[in-house]
Amino acid sequence: MVHSEQEQQVERWGMLELACPGPAAGNPFADCELFADFRHGGRTVRVRGFYDGGGVYKLRFMPDAVGEWSFVTRSSSPELDGIAGSFRCTQPSPGNRGPVRVRDEYRFAYEDGTPYVPVGTTCYAWTHQSEALQRQTLDTLRSAPFNKIRMCLFPKKYSFNSVEPDLFPFSGNREAGFDWSRFNPAYFSRLEERLRELQELGIEADLILFHPYDKGHWGFDAMDSEADDRYVRYVVSRLAAFRNVWWSLANEYDFMKAKTMSDWDRLFRLVQQEDPYGHLRSIHNGTGMYDPESVVMYDHAKPWVTHCSIQHWDVNLTPVWHRLYRKPIVIDECCYEGNVPQRWGNITAEEMTRRFWDAAARGGYAGHGETYLHPEDEIWWAKGGRLYGDSPARIAFLRRVLEAAPEGCRPIPAFRDVPTIGVPGEYYLLYFGIHRPAYRMIELPPDVSFQAEILDTWEMTATPLEGRLTGSCRIELPGKPYLALRIYRSEA
């Protein structure tokens, strides 16, 4: 048994990485298994290791409790078996709030209890672009309102995205073919650098494990079950120790005709089994978007699904999905702001903003994407780069409103004709959308005093109303679309 000579320190929800020399002959990706048992108090967490090339094996661990931890490895290789050591887990640094968890059937929170309001964007293949374009994407995200990004591990062959990437997850290339049993550490090393940079920006990486945008070009969409499972195990062993990772089993999974529903169930369970940290897990539909109760929709009520990731243009259906699944609803794709010919990519900034607010007022969360034509096809939704649309600033305004709301906000059905979230007796947020009433009658508790503000969701302004409100009251409104009304208990 080998002991480490110097005790390391790792912050809570940070990452401990152990690198060990081991056998390189044969196929070390498939021939050698490596695990480590990490112990704290009476608890043991088992982590799978991975081969990182060059005769080096690695184990990564994200400790979730402050104090002394010990570890010992188990391996089919004598060189890697019985390596033991210890480290101290310290308090997390500022900004490190741990992984995002489901708090209840409507809400998310970081593991330290801080509320998390998902404000996501889609940028499918940004890590498969040039270094310069990836840097520009990160620069854009630095000042954008998004705290989640949907991104593919496999490259895409799709509209406005035909550039062959320089690195692939597997060994090989399109001309010579790929070896599904050998991975490409250089690809994952670059991906991991991007994950660290996103983590520094406070952005969750919603990693899409599979997608149908291959159509036989590389063959990643039609691997056999053995290759799929090996790929999932390797990806999870490398990436699960990043606290900002979510797992999206697939984008538009139902367009992948080589896989059955039982395949998706198996892959879900495999991710759940291999991930010792329980990161968020969901799957994204393609068809079925016009009928929320269609059997084509994956059953998000299954126990291995943590939240709903849905594609649908009508965010008004949020309460329907919630009744079906009783889990947080994230409409990751509700169409994109832009001007491409496809109807999913040419809504206005006003409409994108409306869908964000409408989803929020119904107890869900919408997702952003941008698809403005570009002379070099540098379209945000596909490749990243720059944002040109007008919705991100308005989405930032909504994020500020939601993050300032009290904890426990959820839909209030009593406001039947206008979507409303809040905490009865404390806080109400009504959204009128395309409707433009001249006034609104509001029934508030008669023994409580409230203040109100008219929010112009397009102009991004909050106009306080004079006086106090209580009981049955009439609120005069400007009679224009895209207004919200924020009512909160008065401290005076």
Say what the pLDDT of residue 215 is: 79
DSSP H helical segments within 306-435, as ranges?
318-325, 349-361, 380-383, 391-404
432 pLDDT higher than 50: yes
266 domain residue, yes or no = yes
Mean pLDDT within 432-451: 95
Are 301 and 153 in a shared domain?
A: yes
Are 276 and 379 in a shared domain?
A: yes
**Residue 468: CATH number of its domain:** 2.60.40.3950
Say what the pLDDT of residue 86 is: 96
CA distance linking residue 206 with residue 450, whole number of Å: 39
**How many domains does the chain divide into?**
3
Are 71 and 204 in a shared domain?
A: no
Mean pLDDT within 363-385: 97
Closest by Cα among 329, 336, 299, 301 to 315: 329
Q: What is the pLDDT of residues 329-361, one digit of tens each?
A: 999 999 999 999 999 999 999 999 999 999 999
61 domain residue, yes or no = yes
Q: What is the mean pLDDT of the chain?
A: 95
Q: What is the pLDDT of residues 146-201, one digit of tens each?
A: 999 999 999 999 888 888 999 999 999 999 999 999 999 999 999 999 999 999 99
- Of the three residues 33, 57, 90, the one that is the final residue of a domain is 90
- Of the three residues 384, 404, 424, the one that is the final residue of a domain is 404
Percent of the chain residues topping a pLDDT of 70: 97
288 pLDDT higher than 90: no
Are 270 and 121 in a shared domain?
A: yes
The residue among 2 and 420 whose pLDDT is bigger is 420
CA distance linking residue 481 with residue 485, whole number of Å: 12
Are 400 and 416 in a shared domain?
A: no
Say what the pLDDT of residue 3 is: 42
Say what the pLDDT of residue 230 is: 98
Are 174 and 197 in a shared domain?
A: yes
Mean pLDDT within 111-140: 98
400 domain residue, yes or no = yes
Are 423 and 399 in a shared domain?
A: no
Say what the pLDDT of residue 291 is: 55
**Residue 247: CATH number of its domain:** 3.20.20.80
CA distance linking residue 29 with residue 232, whole number of Å: 13
Q: What is the pLDDT of residues 298-318, one digit of tens each?
A: 999 999 999 999 999 999 999
**Residue 54: CATH number of its domain:** 2.60.40.10
267 domain residue, yes or no = yes
Q: What is the pLDDT of residues 37-87, one digit of tens each?
A: 999 999 999 999 999 999 999 999 999 999 999 999 999 999 999 999 999
492 pLDDT higher than 70: no
Cβ(190)–Cβ(233) below 8 Å:
no
The residue among 160 and 123 whose pLDDT is bigger is 123
Cα 112 from chain centroid?
18
Are 17 and 105 in a shared domain?
A: no
The single residue listed with the structure tokens 């849905």 is 310
Angle CA 240–244–247, to nearest 5: 55
8 domain residue, yes or no = yes
- Of the three residues 404, 420, 447, the one that is the final residue of a domain is 404
For 341, the token pair is 């010919």
Cα 19 from chain centroid?
29
Say what the pLDDT of residue 287 is: 74
Q: What is the pLDDT of residues 203-245, one digit of tens each?
A: 999 999 999 999 789 999 999 999 999 999 999 999 999 999 9
Mean pLDDT within 84-94: 97
Are 268 and 307 in a shared domain?
A: yes
Say what the pLDDT of residue 216 is: 83
Residue-range definition of the domain harbouring residue 224: 100-404
Residues with Cβ within 8 Å of residue 435, at least 6 apart in sequence: 418, 481
Are 389 and 423 in a shared domain?
A: no
Mean pLDDT within 280-296: 72
Are 452 and 387 in a shared domain?
A: no
Backbone phi, psi, residue 98, to 5°: 90, 180
Are 323 and 450 in a shared domain?
A: no
Mean pLDDT within 125-131: 97
95 domain residue, yes or no = no
Mean pLDDT within 373-387: 96
CA distance linking residue 162 with residue 286, whole number of Å: 21
Beta bridge partners of 4: none
